[in-house]
Chains A and B, each alone.
Chain A
Amino acid sequence: MNRSIMFCAALLLIPAAAANAETAADNYRTYCVQCHGLKGDGKGINVADMSTQPRDHTDAKEMSARTDQELFKVIKEGGQSINKSVLMPPWSSILTDEEIQDLVKHLHKLCKC
């Protein structure tokens, strides 16, 4: 009896957890594409008047020069945290650490590196 109650309670919890989880691809589309582009090549709709061009996430050479810790830090705390452009904002107010870690993995897929 207790087991069945726990099972039902567990079932009720599943949709709530699923509703909160956003995929890296969805987060990328929502927050990153505006500057880094639909292809991830740094050619988003916002770039025309930017003094510093966004990173090309498909450039394996450039992307390989960054550690995962740096990528995590720059997404979470913004460009200035690693002495890069202020145009890259901090995303910690929106993305959880877990979502940022997923985005770092997503970047590896984009650069194939």
Chain B
Amino acid sequence: MAKHNDRKKISYPGLALFLVISAINTATADGTGKVVFEAQCQSCHDLTEKAPETLKQLWERKGPDLSSAGIKYKSAWLNEWLQNPTRIRPAGMFYGNHIKTGKKTDVVDPSGLVNHPRLSSEQASQVVEMLMTLKRNENLVTSGEYRPGSIPMMLGEMMFDKFKGCLACHQIEPGYGGLSGPEMYTAANRLQEDYLISFMRNPQSWEPKSIMPNKNLKETDLQKLVHYLRALSKEKFQ
């Protein structure tokens, strides 16, 4: 009897795996990013979703809003990341769902954190092609607003940390900085510069309940911070 039960238990993951593989094969065979997206991504990323308007909606969200992907992400990074995903937000999508008290301070509770699925090269290309057509909130971004320039690394870090206090929530290298926001040492690899300017200028115009506050940054500071993020993204961290 016990053996029979064990066999039944084993068969369910096997069946689930078969169904997932079938779904992926079907999606790939169809050849469109939309189909791959519906099979692989839609349970966490709802493209029709509006930005959370209540805290409950904010807490329940599983993945970032992709309805603006075409004006937010850099396609080359997105393609690579979907094939080799890493955690960008150390404490998950909403940090409040993944923390617990520790000995000295609160700590990230990794038990509920879910790893992002890995796509094949073909699937990643298909999904990226589809995502880059999505441009909700396009009116918030001014193309070419970021003017490439540079800032000494030390000055950029002082600005990010001492002058503007961004380090409170964001890491500027692995293991250094706040944990509730996304890591910043990859930000300029991931995100389009004009989007960075727009989001930092007014995070609530993108997401009314975002935990990123509006720091009332001056236009020159917005440009300098993006100079810094671009320099930071070129650093090689172990």
**B75 interfacial contact with A, CB 8 Å:** no
Nearest CB on B from A81, distance (A) = 11
CB-based contact B101/A93 at 8 Å: no
Q: Which chain A residues lie closer than 8 Å to B208 at the CB level?
A: 94
CB-based contact B204/A93 at 8 Å: yes
A94 to B207, CA, bound (A): 10
Which partner residue on chain A sits nearest B172 by CB separation? Answer: A49
Chain A 39-56 interface 0/1 with B at a Cβ cutoff of 8 Å (1 = within) = 100011111111100000
Name the one of B100, B176, B214 contacting A93, with C-beta atoms under 8 angstroms: B214
Chain B interface, number of residues (Cβ within 8 angstroms): 42
| Given A22-B55, A26-B55, A49-B178, A33 contacting B96 (CB threshold 8 A) | yes
Chain A's interface: helix, strand, loop or mixed, by majority?
loop
Name the one of B55, B101, B107 contacting A30, with C-beta atoms under 8 angstroms: B55
| Given A49-B177, A90-B215, A37 contacting B202 (CB threshold 8 A) | no
A38 to B54, CA, bound (A): 21
Name the one of A31, A39, A87, A94 contacting B165, with C-beta atoms under 8 angstroms: A87
**A64 interfacial contact with B, CB 8 Å:** no
A88 to B213, CA, bound (A): 10
**B111 interfacial contact with A, CB 8 Å:** no
Name the one of A46, A93, A94 contacting B178, with C-beta atoms under 8 angstroms: A46
**A29 interfacial contact with B, CB 8 Å:** yes
Chain B 45-58 interface 0/1 with A at a Cβ cutoff of 8 Å (1 = within) = 00000000111101
Q: Which chain A residues lie closer than 8 Å to B165 at the CB level?
A: 79, 85-89
CB-based contact B162/A51 at 8 Å: yes
Q: Which chain A residues lie closer than 8 Å to B141 at the CB level?
A: none
**A19 interfacial contact with B, CB 8 Å:** yes
| Given A37-B105, A38-B100, A45-B106, A91 contacting B213 (CB threshold 8 A) | yes
**A27 interfacial contact with B, CB 8 Å:** yes
Nearest CB on A from B160, distance (A) = 11
Chain B 93-109 interface 0/1 with A at a Cβ cutoff of 8 Å (1 = within) = 01110011100111110
CB-based contact A22/B54 at 8 Å: yes
